[in-house]
Structure 1
Amino acid sequence: MSLTTADLSTVTQRMASELPYPPRFRRSGRTARLLGTVDGVELWMLCWLPGQGTGLHDHGGRRTPVPAAFTVVSGALTEFTVAPGEFPTLDRRTFRAGQTTTVGIRDIHAVINRGNVPAVSVHAYAPRLSMMRSYLFDETGLWLASITRAGDDW
């Protein structure tokens, strides 16, 4: 069965309302805890102190793209998404507790806690996320920086 990003949104909203573990934060970077795999959907809880975030990345690259969704449980998270074009730009959206967004299979984005309180979010991937590609972005364009495989600290 193929799940849509709308299906993933529903799963993250449900899990956000009944987290099985308390959030844990660390000063050295955001924390990620696997909540489990349900009906082929991999669920993660991410905990972010103010200022913590990801770099620009995709979910799976061209060969194994993975749709995703996340729901903010508490605090607020800002997402920057690359808007393609001759001169790519970054679109910015902020999501607060209770709000959900989706990440398409071709999206390149970054998520950051730009607020002044900790944030918690639940993320869903289907199929399981096996790799991410990280990017650099400047006035000359978008550049592939690295590839991270499952099992590394992402």
Structure 2
Amino acid sequence: MPDTSTSSPTLPAGSARPSADAAPTPAELLEFVRRTAADTALVDSLPLDPEGRTWLRLEGPGGSEAWLIGWPPGTGTGWHDHGGSHGAFVTAAGELWEQSLAARLPTEGWKTLELADDVDRERRVAAGQGRAFGPHHVHEVLNTSTDRHAVSVHAYYPPLPLIRRYSRTGAVLRLEQVERPAEWE
């Protein structure tokens, strides 16, 4: 998922694509990101910055939006959602951690929510591992390593209409910002 760090130009993934007539399912997006993450030449082509995330925009299946993302040690996305898009990601190199909420949040009309007990989920996503998620997924992704970059592949459908960014203090989640595609493309 893009942030305001260093970016790189668009690069087509060159993978076979399903028919543009059919919207890709989360399972199809997961298969695409797995296949792309296994492309070592593509993964190795990503320029890595020691201080900020870097990315290449990829051509995803069926009109989806896809990204190859480099994560320096200690970086993360912060809490966010994907504006109603479903998606998938796979770690191609290194290791990432995902913290997510097992709760469906209202999409509009609030600034602060108190989360119920037992909504937090955490998973280690080692190289070759990944997951698909639905349109209401709220999470943060982190490279907790102190000395090693991680690289991952992400795909979203429909292409991200927006990203809502949140801050979190204990059980309180606060909507901080809504980003539009022009801010990260």
Pair in the same fold by TM > 0.5:
yes
Partner of 1:74 in structure 2? 93
- Residues 99, 121 of structure 2: 8 Å contact kept: yes
Alignment of 1:119-138 (within 5 A): 119-138=150-169
Question: 1:130 is paired with a residue of what secondary structure?
Answer: coil
- TM-score with structure 1 setting the length: 0.88
- TM-score with structure 2 setting the length: 0.74
C-alpha spacing 1:37/1:10, structure 2 compared with 1 (3 Å): closer
Residue 28 of structure 1: which of 51, 57, 60 is its match?
51
Partner of 2:134 in structure 1? 104
Moved over 6 A (4+): none
Q: CA RMSD in A?
A: 1.9
The unaligned stretches of length 5 or more in structure 1 are: none
Task: State the 1:23 CA deviation.
Answer: 1.9
Matched residues, number = 150
Task: State the 1:40 CA deviation.
Answer: 1.2
Residue 82 of structure 2: which of 25, 50, 59 is its match?
59
The unaligned stretches of length 5 or more in structure 2 are: 1-21, 104-114
- Return 39-48 or 17-26, whichever deviates more: 17-26
1:121 and 1:82 map into 2 onto residues whose CA distance is: 21
- Between structure 1 and structure 2, the one with the greater Rg is 2
More helix, by proportion: 2
Q: Give the aligned residue type for 1:52.
A: T
